[in-house]
Amino acid sequence: MNRSDMEIAVVVRRVTWVGLVFNLILSGIKMFAGVYGNSQAVAADAIHSLSDTTTDIAVIVGSYFWTKPPDEDHPYGHKRIETIVTVFIGVVVLVAGVKIGWDAMQSLGEGSSSTPRWPALAAALASIIIKEWLYRWTDYKGKSIKSTALSANAWHHRLDAFSSIPAFIAVGVAMIKPGWAFVDAIGALIVCVMILQAAIKIILPQVSALIDTGATTEECEAIVAIARGVDGVLQVHGLRTRYSGSSIYVDMHLVVDGGITVHDGHEIAEEVKRKIIGTGPGVIDVNVHIEPESAAIDSGSLKNSSFQP
């Protein structure tokens, strides 16, 4: 593992450990406040915070594997492990949302609601403030090192902050209007909807990555522009890309002057590779096929499942 990968792994684990500690503390506070303060919405929010600890552990453990260098059995590296961990995070969020929604509907159906008390209100407010801060910090770190798992876990923090807002409102309304105690269960249902939406947003992009979805049109255009800017490149075609974790692998054909030496053609290919990896949109490997101008088929197309000029 090179120094860059080692640094990324250290950042991922450090940030996630901080989140794990806060999640455990908040889960305990909100569960106590939900039970003692008679609030189903806050207790549901505590369960959601507890689910965050599961994803935190998945990220910490997974980071030891997806940053490993390529080996004989995994010549393209282990980046897909990060994708799998991210999908797992989304599934955990989804299950937590379904459980919260089911409990809330049962409460409404039974008509069993008690008036919440001030500890529940205070816990919800504290959760909003702390979890929003955790989201902003974790998301910043995730984007700075291009870690999809860390960014997904950041959204788990923001989701917890968002889910505490309806809980806070529901508890406040129920405390002011004791006859409206059912609003607490409605607040839990709103939390459920928000959780399910976030889970889908986390899962779908990662499923696309698992089935080798290519880079976006904008990313492909940027890659082609870099290649065309290298001296000696006459044409670029046969572009193919695929995601592995948050990284992009590229295959492309370059047309060059048929009269140059093999050595010169190799140097052009290496320069294209260096520039794309150095300045391209998250590219970590480029496979270049050199073609002489006389043998190239000038199709005028850049073939990619997600890119059509």
CATH of the domain at 263: 3.30.70.1350
> Which SS3 state, helix, strand or coil, does residue 3 take?
helix
Contact between 106 and 139 (Cβ < 8 Å) = no
Do residue 222 and residue 197 come from a single domain? no
Res. 307 pLDDT band, cuts 50 70 90: very low
Do residue 78 and residue 10 come from a single domain? yes
Q: Is residue 280 part of a domain?
A: yes
**Whole-number Å distance between alpha carbons of 54 and 89:** 8
Query: 305 or 52, which is more confident?
Result: 52
Do residue 30 and residue 178 come from a single domain? yes
Do residue 63 and residue 173 come from a single domain? yes
Q: Is residue 198 part of a domain?
A: yes
Question: Which structural domain range is residue 280 located in?
Answer: 217-292
Q: Is the pLDDT of residue 198 over 80?
A: no
The DSSP H or E segment spanning 291 is: strand 283-292
Q: Is the pLDDT of residue 298 over 50?
A: no
Q: What is the pLDDT of residue 269?
A: 92
Q: Is residue 306 part of a domain?
A: no
Q: Is residue 54 part of a domain?
A: yes
Do residue 39 and residue 173 come from a single domain? yes
Res. 295 pLDDT band, cuts 50 70 90: low
Segment 206-222 shows an average pLDDT of: 78
Of the residues 210, 236, 261, which one is the last residue of a structural domain? 210
Query: 118 or 265, which is more confident?
Result: 265
Q: Is the pLDDT of residue 300 over 60?
A: no
- Mean pLDDT computed over every residue of the chain: 77
Do residue 199 and residue 246 come from a single domain? no
Segment 273-284 shows an average pLDDT of: 83
Query: 154 or 65, which is more confident?
Result: 154
Res. 273 pLDDT band, cuts 50 70 90: very high
Q: What is the pLDDT of residue 270?
A: 92
CA distances from 270 to 227, 243, 283 (A): 11, 22, 14
Of the residues 169, 190, 210, which one is the last residue of a structural domain? 210
Res. 4 pLDDT band, cuts 50 70 90: low
Do residue 102 and residue 202 come from a single domain? yes
Q: Is residue 302 part of a domain?
A: no
Q: What is the pLDDT of residue 304?
A: 40
Do residue 122 and residue 140 come from a single domain? yes
**Whole-number Å distance between alpha carbons of 185 and 128:** 19
Do residue 151 and residue 245 come from a single domain? no
- Please tell me which of 76-80, 110-114, 270-274 the model is most confident about, judged by mean pLDDT: 270-274
Q: Is residue 297 part of a domain?
A: no
Do residue 157 and residue 274 come from a single domain? no
Segment 3-31 shows an average pLDDT of: 80
Of the residues 210, 228, 245, which one is the last residue of a structural domain? 210
Q: Is residue 305 part of a domain?
A: no
Whichever domain contains 125, its CATH number is 1.20.1510.10
The pair of three-digit structure tokens given for residue 133, joined into one six-digit string = 């801060």
28: amino acid identity, one letter: G
Q: Is the pLDDT of residue 220 over 60?
A: yes
Task: Please give the model's pTM, rounded to 2 decimal places.
Answer: 0.55
> What are the beta bridge partners of residue 307?
304
Contacts of 5 (CB under 8 A, 6+ apart): 67, 69
Do residue 182 and residue 286 come from a single domain? no
Residue entry with tokens 């997806």: 66
Provide φ and ψ at 277, rounded to 5°: -70, -35
Do residue 49 and residue 144 come from a single domain? yes
Q: Is residue 300 part of a domain?
A: no
Q: Is the pLDDT of residue 159 over 60?
A: yes
* Total structural domains within the chain: 2
Q: What is the pLDDT of residue 16?
A: 87
**Whole-number Å distance between alpha carbons of 29 and 146:** 33
Contacts of 111 (CB under 8 A, 6+ apart): 182
